[in-house]
Structure 1
Amino acid sequence: MDSARHLIWDEVEKNNYPFTLSMPILGFFSADEDMEADDFLTMCKYNGASILFPFLRSAIADVTKSANITSLTLPLINVKKFIDDKS
């Protein structure tokens, strides 16, 4: 079983959800030349994910709506806490 399926809901198989969805998202970020590489990576890890998450939520809602099922809107999350908890 793919553990990523349990990032949002528990007991996926038990509840017999009608589909699975994997939707990667990619962002390109830049910073001033004087920013330290470690600081840049930390910024991308947290701020990048926070910036991209609303686009991912919207894309998932659009795809599920187009599939002729009730549109799936991901819950709002504290991105920093989510990343820290998964690390």
Structure 2
Amino acid sequence: MVLQRNLCWRWHDLKTMRFENYTVEEIKLEQKQIVDGSGLQVAIFPYVEKHDQDSAKVSLTCRIVDQEEEELRNFFLEVRLSGEFKVEDDGEVTDSEITSEALLANNSLSILFPYLRASISQITSIGSNEPVILPPVNILDFVEKNRVNK
């Protein structure tokens, strides 16, 4: 599934980040019995694949399980979606601390996360389960914690 987006954000009239589109690349769902949603373990994995200095494909993968051990699992869901982003400079030379890399690594994840949340809710609402609704996440904190834990 590919949805076209041509959204544009401008920071301090210096850089513009364009969100070209996003794609739900992979959905894996294994469900042996109905789960109520309590006790589910959620993990989110970001990945930035740079095309060049000012453009990248940014991916978010979310894995939701009821048990870590595969043999004991009743529920497993993994969704990966990706978006294409491009940063454009207005050509002015400044001392700005805002870099293309920071915009692509951090802000793109903040833009993609609501699409991931919506995809997971839609997928899990099919059938007899209550939908899994991920809470809003401060992506900048998430990225910083992820960087520290590596």
- Count of matched residue positions in the alignment of Structure 1 and Structure 2: 78
- Write the mapping of 1:7-18 to structure 2, written as runs, cut at 5 A: 7=43, 12-13=66-67, 18=74
Larger Rg: 2
Separation in structure 2 between the aligned mates of residue 68 and residue 39 of structure 1, nearest angstrom: 46
For the residue of structure 2 that corresponds to 1:23, the secondary structure is strand
Amino acid at match of 1:30: K
Separation in structure 2 between the aligned mates of residue 67 and residue 46 of structure 1, nearest angstrom: 35
Percent identity at matched positions? Answer: 25
The yes-or-no answer on 1:53 pairing with 2:110 is no
Corresponding position of 1:25: 81
For the residue of structure 2 that corresponds to 1:7, the secondary structure is strand
Which range moves more in the overlay, 19-28 or 52-61?
Answer: 19-28
Amino acid at match of 2:144: D
CA deviation digits over 1:31-81, x for unaligned, max 9? 2155xxx92221111110000000100000000001431000001111000
Amino acid at match of 2:116: L
Q: Which runs of 5+ in 2 are unaligned?
A: 1-40, 45-65, 92-97
Bigger strand fraction: 2
Separation in structure 2 between the aligned mates of residue 73 and residue 6 of structure 1, nearest angstrom: 11
Corresponding position of 2:11: none
TM-score, L = length of structure 2: 0.44
Bigger helix fraction: 1
Corresponding position of 2:130: 70
TM-score, L = length of structure 1: 0.72
* Residue 68 to residue 41, structure 1, CA distance change in 2 (3 Å): farther
Deviation beyond 6 Å, 4+ runs, structure 1 = none
Shift of 1:6: 4.8
Q: Which runs of 5+ in 1 are unaligned?
A: none
